[in-house]
Amino acid sequence: SQQGEEDPQALSIQEGENATMNCSYKTSINNLQWYRQNSGRGLVHLILIRSNEREKHSGRLRVTLDTSKKSSSLLITASRAADTASYFCATGRGSTLGRLYFGRGTQLTVWP
């Protein structure tokens, strides 16, 4: 499969706790992106990390990338009930921007 794999498939935490989601992929990449999807809705782009970067921050989000292990992690700190959604990693390959291969996603539920 060309897709990445996220784990866990589902994660349930209390508000204020941190949520960590992992993504593994199989082939070489140019970049890796994380997206959020609320139930039955479109995608919201969260963050892009390039293959030559190791860590990136955006607000309460922290993404790491380990190209030697072909893995990435997304950390959401101080989670809120509004963070409840599905989170997908997507890898971009080749010269065509936007040709993405998505992982299976992690369903995050944050309880108030």
Partner 1 sequence: GAVVSQHPSWVICKSGTSVKIECRSLDFQATTMFWYRQFPKQSLMLMATSNEGSKATYEQGVEKDKFLINHASLTLSTLTVTSAHPEDSSFYICSGVGGLGGKETQYFGPGTRLLVL
Which stretches of the chain bind partner 1, using CB under 8 A? 3, 35, 40-45, 88, 90, 96-105
The full length of the chain comes to 112
Nearer to partner 1, 43 or 75 (CB): 43
Q: Smallest distance, Å, CB 102 to partner 1?
A: 4
Nearer to partner 1, 44 or 78 (CB): 44
Q: Smallest distance, Å, CB 72 to partner 1?
A: 15
Dihedral of the CA atoms 25, 26, 27, 29 (nearest 10)? 10
Q: Of 100, 87, 112, 98, whose CA–CA distance to 22 is shortest?
A: 87
Nearer to partner 1, 9 or 14 (CB): 9
Q: Smallest distance, Å, CB 41 to partner 1?
A: 7
User: What single DSSP character describes residue 69?
Assistant: T
Name the 3-class secondary structure at 70. Answer: coil
